Each structure stands twice: as structure tokens, then as C-alpha cells.
Structure 1
Amino acid sequence: MELERPKFESVETENLEKWKLIGFGGFGQVFKARHKKWRCDVAIKLPRDADGDIELCEEANHMAQVSFHSSVLRLYGIYSGYPPNGGQKIQLGIVMEFMDRGSVQTLLETLSGPPPYPLAFRLAYEIAQGMNFLHEKGILHHDLKPSNVLLDGDLHAKLADFGLSRVSTSVLMNSKEMSTVKGGTPEYMPPESFDPLYEPVRKFDIYSYGILLWSIICGKKPFPDADPGLVKVRIPKGDRPPCKEIDQTKAEGLRELVGLMERCWDGDPSKRPDFGGQSESNDIVDARTEMQNMQLDHQQSNTSSPSGFTAEMPASNDTLDIPLQQNNVSSSARNLTEHEKAAEFVDRNRKTLIQEVSEVLAIAEELGDLVHPEAYSKIRATRTSRDGMRELFDGPLRSGGRRVKAAFFDALKKHHPDLVERLGG
């Protein structure tokens, strides 16, 4: 079979430094490395042997179709070279966005329980948004679970490891969990998938999403003590994670979320809702729209930020300082953090900033690694400062969240202090 290599930006060994192994498994290895020219860390997935190149290229082609979505891990290019793993032949690899803030799984483990409800609602909505985009592009995730949902600096969700890949590394710092079941993880697989003749369809992911919602709401793994072989037997017989422990009066919209979760894991695939897009029936509930309505309702019941969550994830996954109760938002969550104040200032004054900021390149340089080289090139190529600011707002400031907006605000104070003061910053 002739290998069709994806036509992406090529990343050579000489472009990289500070290699560090962060994950390994049946498929191969994942490294963290520093790209010298891009001035940022990247994750590089390498197959175990040459036979894995075909699957790797297929995965890269899938990622290329969806990685520009804000809720999907970004693909940067294809690696070709001699990595520091002792290989004597040129190896191909996928160069991806590096996430050192953890996954939903590491968040739940660090909290030893569920996240605050505002964050849980936001994660549920963003995951559904990303999954809708994958499905509209004709791509099945096929292994949707907490370790495959990554978190950025503001705890926004990004989908990773989709496209029938055998490896399940989360491209995280110190993450070594790999999938042991080709095509999915038993606890998150629908009952029909245990039939050897089963061919996956979109309803596979819908079921997995329901189990994932339960994990987020309850803060733990489904069937934690069960043998995988027993799980494969019990799920087709109707076993599901218990819902009795969920107090559905704790938060507005929680009862509806639990109802959605239970419909997603229905034993009859035709009764499961749909993420949207290519619906198979007009009678199927659009889970994405339903989650958006729940999120908006929940936001309106809080005077804090859209997420209602003020915690900052540390640079490493060793500790997590979260000034919130696990099951309800404390009063401190109702006060805006410095990042939130900066983000609110930037959002409120978007039109004026586009019209009046002139030091766009200088500000973009101040942001450093927070602006991807592609975005920086677009800003630099613009003819006017207004066009440059539009690129900055539509790119890094839109996708980077509060952290990038806070850094932008600091740079703005340095280069345009009078403007910031005039606008009340």
C-alpha cells in the first residue's frame, strides 16, 4: 500500500530542542520538545515502527480537517527526522499543540471529586461543540473519555486522540495512560459495540458522551473496580453508572443534564440524541443546542464570569489550588479575578481598541508564545493597524481565553497607557 503523506508544514530535528518523553504505549511514543523558531513547546507523536506511518498519516489527515476548531487539539505539522529515541531510520511523527494544564481526568483526580457546577456545565457544552464539529466533518472520535479531553490555561476543553487511533496518550505533562482496547475503552463503549461484527456510527460517540457526562458530574471513573471482561458482559445487559448519588436539586439545569446523560446512554441507539449537524431523524434531540441552553441558564443565575470558575491551573499537574467547594460555588467565585477584569475590559472595548491601537506588532511580540507563528505572520502581513488588531481579536484573543486577554491588557498598558486610562482600565 502506497503511503500518502499529509501535505503539512514539515518539522525537522534541527528545529527542535529539549526533547522529553511524556507518553508511551502500543502505538509508540509521545515527546515534548521546544520549537526554536516558533518559540513554543510542541507535542510529537511517533509510531513504534514504520508500519504505524500509515495510521499516523490517517490520523494527521483527520486532525487537519478539525484542528482549527477551538475545542479540538491543534495540529502544527509533520515531523520527519531522527528523534532521540535511538532510531536509526528517519521517522514520521505528528507535531501538535502541547497542553501542560492537564485533562478532565487529571482535574478530577486532583480535586478528588467533581468540579464546580459552572465549570461542569461549560465542559459539557464545549465537548458537545467539539464533537458536533467532528461529526459534521464525518469523523468519529471513537474513544471519548476524560483523559482525551484536554484543558487549556483557562480550563476550556479541547478534544484529542480521535480518528480510530490505537494510542490514547493525552499529550500532557507526565501522562502515560494508554488505551488497551483498539477502537475504544470498555467503560465508555456502547452495548452494541461488543458485537464482533459491529461497525461504528455516530451513536457510538453519543453513548460515550453520556458516560463522560456522568464522570464529570460525579468526579470519578465508571465501574472503577470491575474487571474489563465483566464490563463487556454487563453493559449489554443494561448496567450503567449509578445516578442515585446525584442530588439534582444542587444546581439549576442539573436535572436536565442528568436526563440528557441518560438518553445518551440508552441501550437503543435510535433513541439517543444527536450532537447536531447531520441528524438521522428530526425527532432526535440536538444535544449541542440543549447543552447551550443549559449553560446559558446557569450563567444567568451567577454574577461571576461565564464559567463561574476562578481557579488558575498551575504549570505542573502536581498541585491545584482551587478556592471553590466541590459541590457549590463559594462567595469568592462571585468576585472577578484580575484575569477576568482584564478580559472584560478587552471585550468591552473591542471596537475602540481596533480603531485606536497602533503598536500592534509590538504588542503581539510582547505576547510571545501566546501568539502562534501563523497568527503572528498574519498580523505582520496586514497593511493597517486596524487590520492587525482584527487578526489579533479574531485569532489569539478569541481562542486563548482570559489568560491571553490578560497578557494583552498588560502589553496594552505598556504601549498605550493613556488609552487604557481613558477607557477606565
Structure 2
Amino acid sequence: MDLTGQVVPFRFTERDMMGSGSVSNVFRMDRYIAVKTPILYHPDDLLSDEQAERSAVSLISIAREKAVYDALNNNPHPHILQTILHTTVPIAIFMPLMLHSLGHWMEIERPSAPSPLRLRWVKEVASAAEHLEAMGLVHGDIRPANVLLASDMHIKLADFDSCVQKGEECEAFTVPFHDAYEEVATHKSEQFAIGSFIYTLFTGHEPELHITGRELLAETLPNTEAILGGEIILKCWKKGYESVAAVAEDIYDLDLDDDGRDGDESETRSVNGSDTHSSRLRVNGHAGPEVMSAERIAELREVCRTWINVRAS
């Protein structure tokens, strides 16, 4: 993670960095709070066209994300990240510190991820996406890297820099969570991402899709017959649902005890991960998540402001 040439606020250093994307950096403020900032380069340096464009896109993206979080904070959901404070000078978003992204957790803990936990994460993401749809929003980039894992092992959907109103142009085309064909953000683009998210969580790896920038053909799609919720995944890829709410409704009905019985035939549907009695107890033993109260947000906001003043002195 290289900060060379960048304008880094609050005297952060590379040692404070938790992650870096195409348009933003995330730093650790303390044990409880993280700070997301745009990627900006020193104006007195001779910037390349790439650096100038990156800075411009970064500013637009974080402004969009701030606006989305403002709306979401007024209508919170237990599986959507709430932010604490938005500043304009310097530009930053202060948010609760999570363990790490679900994508990172799967990389380091994939073999030991209990099946019930994976299923719960899928249901929690579906719930978050359904909430966004009810607000007229499309996340636009649902994938494990943009889903954060809290200390209680519940998830928070985050990274709203690609989130737009339904019917607006898509901002992200991340394959295999976007088919590089849909240009308008709707329930179609969102359900495609959810299908790939389920596949990734339940198999432990991303689907290999034959992406051409044209509509996907059925014969190019991975076989999902042996995967729990395989029919849902396939229907999402084919954009067969009329809404994200309809996708979520089918996902909520998924059960690890479902043996896929259909008439006289039966087939065991799998989720890649341990599925022991003890693993189910570990998952079910966690209390359900709650949204942060206004009092808690106000308390953390004061902590942030005090920290900002100290850093500015």
C-alpha cells in the first residue's frame, strides 16, 4: 500500500492503512473507528492523466457515498454499515471499525467457515439488498470484498461509492458480479450480483463466467445443481426475478436440512464448509445484530471530533 505522492489527511501513515481501493483509502483511527478518505494527489506535483482522473473520480465517488450514507443513517438496517461522521475539510467518512471484509475472511478462514454461518451471511446480504430496494437504491457492487464482518460474526454491507438510484447508469462492472451487459442499475443487475455472491459463499470460490459484454447464454453458466440454492443462483444469473425482494424471499426459505427432494428423486445440496452440531451452536449462539442508537453515534462523533482537533494541533 503506497501513499507516495498522495495528499494524506490527519497525519495518517502507511502503518495506519487498513486497505486501499481504486478510489479510496481506509485508515485505522483507533480500536473502534476507521476512516475512509479519497485518493488525492499533491496539486503542486506534475500529475499524470491517470492520477488526475483518479483524483476526480475519487472525489465524485466519496461524495456519492456520503449522500447514500446520509439517507441510510436516517433509515438504518442491522446489516448495513452506519457511519459516524462525515467531514469536508479534509474529506473523510468516519465509521465503526469492523474485523475485515468477508472476502478477506474467506481467504484466510475459508476451510473453517461453518455452513450455517455462510448461509446466514447470504440471508443477511439479501435482507440488506431488499432494504436498499425499498429505498429506491441499487448497491451496484455486491461482492464479498464489500461486505464487512463485525466482531459478532454478523455482516454489514458497505462501500456505497457505486450505489445509485434505480434506473441510473451502473457505476461498477466488476466481473463476475456484473455481467458487463446491463448498463442501467435495476433489480436485474443487483440480482446478478447476489447470484454470484451466493455461489462464492457456498462454494468457496468465484464463479467462472464467460463474460463477453453480451447477454450470457445458458450454456456458459456454471453448473449449480449440487449447490444449496442452485436454482436461485441460476435464476439470478438469468435475471428471472421481478424484484430483489422476490430474490430475498426465496433466499430466506433456504435451509441446510433441505435435501433437495423433488418427487421420487432426492439430491443433497451442499455448502462448502463445516456443518457439524457444534458449528451450528457457534452460529446460533450469537445474538442478532442491532443498529447503533442515536446516543451511541453521538458519543462516537464526539470522540472523532476530539481526535480531529488533536491531530490538527
Q: 1:40 to 1:217 in 2, by over 3 A?
A: closer
Alignment of 1:3-402 (within 5 A): 13=10, 20-34=16-30, 40-48=32-40, 51=56, 52-67=58-73, 68-81=76-89, 91-100=90-99, 102-113=100-111, 115-164=113-162, 183-190=172-179, 192-193=181-182, 198-223=183-208, 231-232=211-212, 236-238=216-218, 239-243=220-224, 246=226, 254=228, 257-266=229-238, 269=239, 271-276=240-245, 286-294=246-254, 327-333=273-279, 340=285, 374-375=295-296
Q: Number of matched residues?
A: 255
Do the aligned partners of residues 273 and 191 (structure 1) sit closer, same or farther apart at CA in structure 2, a change above 3 Å counting?
A: farther
Partners of 1:140 and 1:162 within 8 A in 2:
no
- 2-side partners of 1:158 and 1:149: how far apart? 6
Deviation by residue 1:322-366 (Cα, 9 ceiling, x = unmatched): xxx9544224336579x949x69xxxxxxxxxxxxxxxxxxxxxx
Note the C-alpha offset of 1:237. Answer: 3.8
Q: In structure 2, do the counterparts of structure 1 residues 205 and 94 end up closer, same or farther at CA, with 3 Å as the change threshold?
A: same
Alpha-carbon deviation of 1:30? 2.0
Instruction: Please state how far the C-alpha of 1:134 moved relative to its aligned partner.
Output: 1.1
Indicate the SS of the match to 1:263: helix
Q: 1:63, CA displacement in angstroms? A: 1.5
1:23 CA drift (Å): 2.2
Contact 1:125-1:295 at 8 Å conserved across structures: no
User: How big is each residue's C-alpha offset from its partner over 1:288-322, in whole Å with a ceiling of 9 and x where there is no partner?
Assistant: 22222335977xxxxxxxxxxxxxxxxxxxxxxxx
Preserved contact between residue 114 and residue 326 of structure 1 (Cα < 8 Å): no
Q: For 1:17 and 1:273, how far apart are their aligned partners in 2?
A: 47
Question: In structure 1, what residue type is equivalent to 2:142?
Answer: L
Q: Secondary structure at the match of 2:98?
A: coil
Does the C-alpha gap of structure 1 residues 233 and 293 become closer, same or farther in structure 2, counting only changes over 3 Å?
closer
**Which residue identity lines up with residue 23 of structure 2 in the other structure?**
F
SS state of the match for residue 79, structure 1? strand
Equivalent position SS for 1:186: coil
Give the TM-score, by structure 1 length: 0.51
Change (3 A) 1:296 1:134: farther
d(CA) in 2 for partners of 1:213, 1:150: 16
Amino acid at match of 1:241: P
Between the two proteins, what is the percent identity of the paired residues?
A: 20
Cα deviation digits, residues 46-84 of structure 1 (max 9, x gap): 342573434322211111222421111111111344xxx
* Contact 1:263–1:273 under 8 Å retained in 2: no
Structure 2 length-normalised TM: 0.68
The one of the two structures with greater contact order (alpha-carbon pairs below 8 A, sep at least 6) is: 2
Q: Secondary structure at the match of 1:294?
A: coil
Match of 2:28, SS? Answer: strand
| Deviation, structure 1 residue 210 | 0.5
Tell me how far apart the structure 1 counterparts of residues 153 and 251 of structure 2 sit (CA, whole Å).
18
Distance 1:27 1:191 in 2: 20
**CA, structure 1 residues 154+79, in 2 after alignment: closer, same or farther (shift >3 Å)?**
same
Contact 2:116 2:279 in 1 (8 A): no
Provide the secondary structure at the position in 1 that maps to 2:188. Answer: helix
The verdict on how the C-alpha distance between 1:21 and 1:103 changes in structure 2, with shifts beyond 3 A counting, is closer
- What CA deviation, in whole Å up to 9, does each residue of 1:232-281 have, x standing for no partner? 3586344223325x3x5xxxxx3xx2111111111xx4x225222xxxxx
Deviation at 1:159, TM superposition (A): 0.7
One-letter amino acid of the structure 1 residue matched with residue 179 of structure 2: P
- Cα distance, 1:190–1:118 mapped onto 2, change above 3 Å: same
- SS of the residue 2:81 aligns to: coil
Note the C-alpha offset of 1:163: 4.3
TM superposition shift of 1:118: 1.3
Instruction: Supply the distance in 2 between the matched residues of 1:18 and 1:374 (Cα, whole angstroms).
Output: 33
Unaligned runs of 5+ in 1: 1-11, 82-90, 166-180, 249-253, 277-285, 299-324, 345-369, 379-425
Q: Aligned partners of 2:281, 2:297: CA distance in 1, in Å?
A: 34
